[in-house]
Structure 1
Amino acid sequence: MLWRKLLATGLFAALISTGAANAQGTPVPPNVIQIGSTVSDTLAPDMPFRWWEFYAFSGQVFRAQMLTEDGLIPRLGVMDASGEIFVRSDQPGDGITSLPNLAIIEFTAPTDGALRLVAGALDDSTGNYRLTLQELENPNDTGALTVTFPCNSQEATVLAAVQFSHEAGMSSDFRAYLYGESGMQPVIRVQAPEAGIDLCWDDPGDSAGDQAFLPAGDAITIMADQDEQAALFSVNAGAPLGEVTLTLGAIQPAQGRYLAFFSGDSLGERNDNVTWRVRQGPLPAQANDMLIYMIGSGANSRLDPFLELGDITGTRIVACDDAGGRGCEGMPTARGVGVILSNGESALGDRFDAGVTLPAGATDWHTITFASFGGNTTGDFAVLLAGQLGGETE
């Protein structure tokens, strides 16, 4: 199997050096490709191959596809941590297509860790290409919430997860913002199987200047030189995404408080309600409650929020109209909790907004049902999750 080694002749032999260089001698570091995503690039005489790195767990099964144009004849391989090319599209038995502009391979991750797709060319051809990486199977996915998850080439601790249905009629501008205290680097894993999406998002976007106000009254202010304390994800979909899971995390090592802000849902008519599922990460749940708030948002919202926490079957555990008020005395008030964004937009709770507590130790899925008190009001609403990794909830 000498063809599988980087010592083989041709393009793949050039990859033996971790300081692989282009014709000018400049080192070429690996790019990052996210599972469930497509990237575009160009191979040229001075750039005859590209590395695309991703993180995998042992036993995960993937399909990678390289679609080319401009006469580029694709050659696609997978490199493990030792530098071995263990799958190659031009090797009989590995490639699963005979089209001249398409290379497809399927492979199983041999161990936990980083792998690299190697996008190359045959016969010194050049041109543009699109590279797609999809997960086909994950035997490690048992439904249990893991302690950590891979985020690009790093590992993140799970803070919490939410699930909801992105349906027709729901705002196309659904946003998920996650803010962490100093020393915490938030990330958001986005999974929408029906839409073929599985990616980890660590982009702070235009978060510099944003302020996140915690239930204790403290604020997280995102400075221009510290925007790694925020991850901002938006859904601008022309069609429904179906079932969506957002896993909130923090790159290891991490500890501190966080605030998640979700915007883009609404109650459009009387007696309307929306149900999500939510759970807390195993490590935060060891010593900390997670607070969940529903606040009316938007200039035209007349909503009087009402929030209900249930078990996974939907059986009510507790319900709350006004957080901190009668019947919700154990829940800190929503007054002043929320965000003020750098563009001037704000979503801050008041004494009429609702909240429930997911107590420490509760890591199973729970339902949260968003409604209006008495079913009498309508409008947009935002959801806030406030929790802590390490220490005890203040």
Structure 2
Amino acid sequence: MSRKTKIRKNVPPYVRLDLRSRKMLVQSLLRTMAKKKQMGKMPANPLLVPKDPKTAIMPSHASILLMSALSYSSHWKIEQLTVDHLRESTREVIQLKPPLHASGVLSRCKPDLLLVLGSDLLLAEDLDFIRSLPFKKAIWLADSTGSSEILRQTALSFDCVFTQQSSHIPFYRHGGCRTVQFLPFPADPTEWYPLTVPEEYRSEVVIFGDTSQKTPALIPVIDSWRENKKVIVCGKGWDCFDDYQVLPDESPWPLYLNGANLVLHLSPSLNRILEAASCGACQISVDDPCLYQWTNPDEDILLFHTPEELGEKLNSLRCYPERRRRLSTQALAGSRFRYSYRQVVLELLRITFENY
């Protein structure tokens, strides 16, 4: 066998297309080339074009300028915990004291983000100065007790707004804020944690919330559960109930929460629920949409709509004590991992830099 024949045997076989098939193939190639040429002339859709990795900022590489505008002395831990976990998650954190407009720090550094905690100490000059800044601005509002037109005008100076109440989101967005997120302050683990308490702090039920038109229908259900045992209440309108001990909001609630067999929320406050979870409390609450993002109903908290449903949930806890222990354990685990300061700060950074 000749050398030429051996080479031909190693060549892959091919199929010769007929004239009609070749024409169809050429036309298909021409159509594809025309489409590519047309797409090259069209303006790119910014929603479909990925961010340039050269200009995108990773939170771990970011420089954060942080200022606390919280007015209450009890809020200093919020600032400290936020700073501690920002330092673990970013390149650097530079702390400022108000007034911001009088600070010369921007002449010495080039931050990627200004984060303001609260708004009580912000001046009009500060807001004008913030609007002129060329980098990202975010504010973490302390608006758990309510919002106002002043707060909405303040929020307009920032690119990202974080609120303590999900019900405030439409209010800020209607005013012109584009990026508004529900992000409550987590419970302080140095203040809210499980511990054994003296007898004077023990009770069968701790109730949070004001009375309403629905309260009279709930009282028989609660009384059936407590069986003449001690009930502690924090809220308005309870003075007419002689068997219930009403305490002010400034009471040592970490002790009372650790001493309660059950915590009942009639006016759900997510901050209160997270604090009780950090103490490992067994909780049941009126159903509210804001709870689903930050809790796992039926796993770390029970929810109800009607007095009848409340009675059913309470009876299930009485009949199955292990369910109460499981709810308490899951709530405590969630406060240590899913809803910890570290996780919430990471979520804040993710939202902020996704919208950079």
* TM-score bin (small chain): under 0.3
Per the normalisation by structure 2, the TM-score is: 0.25
Task: Work out which structure has the larger RCO, using CA pairs closer than 8 Å and 6 or more positions apart in sequence.
Answer: 1
- Whichever structure has more helix as a proportion of its residues is 2
- Whichever structure has more strand as a proportion of its residues is 1
Max radius of gyration: which structure?
Answer: 2
Per the normalisation by structure 1, the TM-score is: 0.24
